[in-house]
Amino acid sequence: MTDTRGPKARSDHEGYAAGALPGEREKPASGPAQPYHPPQAYPTSQNGTQGGRQRGGGSSSAAVRRPRTGARTTPRTRKARLRVAKADPWSVMKVSFLLSIALGVCTVVASAVLWMVMDAMGVFSSVGGTISEATGSNESNGFDLQSFLSLPRVLIFTSVIAVIDVVLATALATLGAFIYNLSAGFVGGIELTLAEDE
């Protein structure tokens, strides 16, 4: 039985028999020995890029990432949705007591300042004279408005009003906390949406 294949077929067969893969076959001995280059999936272009990406450290306009024109530049706002499930009656009472005391002190100070301004403008004297003439007679001088609306009397009256306001405001705020807790048990309470700017 004779081998009808040519020399090229025999050399290929010998290469496979030696355990070499098709890409790893030795080249003929003719010519100088060249370094081995494995096959590449993407062809290498002339400007040194492979597969659309640049190998070297050179600058290329295609390799620079450009920002999108439609990108949002406004800061994003984070939002949190919270629910007030319960109000502590003790803390509500303390806060309302302090706030009502501050409101009472402001009321007393404002009344004193208003009385002094009106007295400096002569309001009490002019109105008091008119009232005394209207209510007076030959035997009496009439009603004395200046003595009735003196500064000590005004301050005492305002202080009594401030104390009543402190007691009522504290009691109503505490009662309101109890009522809110009862209603929150049925409907779930008040929902709040809090926003935070980055």
Least confident of 8-12, 38-42, 97-101: 8-12
Higher-confidence residue: 195 or 177? 177
Read off the pLDDT of residues 19-39 as tens digits, 9 standing for 90 and up: 555 555 555 555 566 777 777
Whole-angstrom Cα Rg for the chain: 50
Three-class DSSP category at 188: coil
Question: Which residues lie closer than 8 Å to 190 by C-beta, 6 or more apart?
Answer: 83, 84, 184
Most confident of 35-39, 52-56, 74-78, 101-105: 101-105
Q: What is the pLDDT of residue 17?
A: 47
Q: Which long-range contacts (CB under 8 A, 24 or more apart) does 170-175 make?
A: 170/93, 170/96, 170/97, 170/100, 172/96, 173/92, 173/93, 173/95, 173/96, 174/89, 174/92, 174/93, 174/96
pLDDT mean over 163-185:
94
